[in-house]
Amino acid sequence: MNIARHIALIDELCFRPFPAEHGPSDVGFGGPGHHVAVLETDGGPDGDPARRAVTVDRFEKDHDAVYEVLASRWGDTDPWNPRTEREETPEPWAWLGARAGVARVWEVQGTGRWVAVAVADRDPGDAVQLLAVVTETPPR
């Protein structure tokens, strides 16, 4: 866990140009109007539910530490749950909602961008990941 590194990357992504095409990046992947950074990831599913639960717990603590720093800067936010939305959810929010049950979301004043931080743990067949999403598309 390196919270300072996570915060520095999120700050950088708030000003990094978005890629013209969908594809991998040095921090995860991106596409027109968004960056997705994998801040932390486990080794992938190994069939051990106890080990997965420990990993999820550790990533949630790291998520909370990132949240505390960003909340002190941009304000407290309620958890955002894309699955409760009634209208169609735009990308990259739909992608995030398919992987994480909730996210913390901020509008970063003066940048035209939104930041979300979440733990992706919904699919036991996928790796557990601590994610940051930076996008110009507001959540709905």
∠76-81-84 over CA atoms, to 5°? Answer: 135
In a domain, 66, yes or no: yes
16-59 residue pLDDT tens: 999 999 999 999 999 999 999 999 999 887 878 999 999 999 99
CB-based contacts of 58: which residues, under 8 Å, 6+ apart? 1
In a domain, 105, yes or no: yes
In a domain, 140, yes or no: no
In a domain, 82, yes or no: yes
**Residue that is written with structure tokens 């890629």 in the block:** 19
- The percent of residues in the chain predicted with pLDDT above 70, rounded, is 95
In a domain, 96, yes or no: yes
pTM for the whole structure: 0.93
| Boundaries of domain holding 63 | 3-135
* Segments in the chain forming alpha helices (H): 3-13, 49-74, 93-99
58-113 residue pLDDT tens: 999 999 999 999 999 999 999 998 665 556 888 999 999 999 999 999 999 999 99
What is the domain count for the chain?
1
pLDDT recorded at residue 111: 94
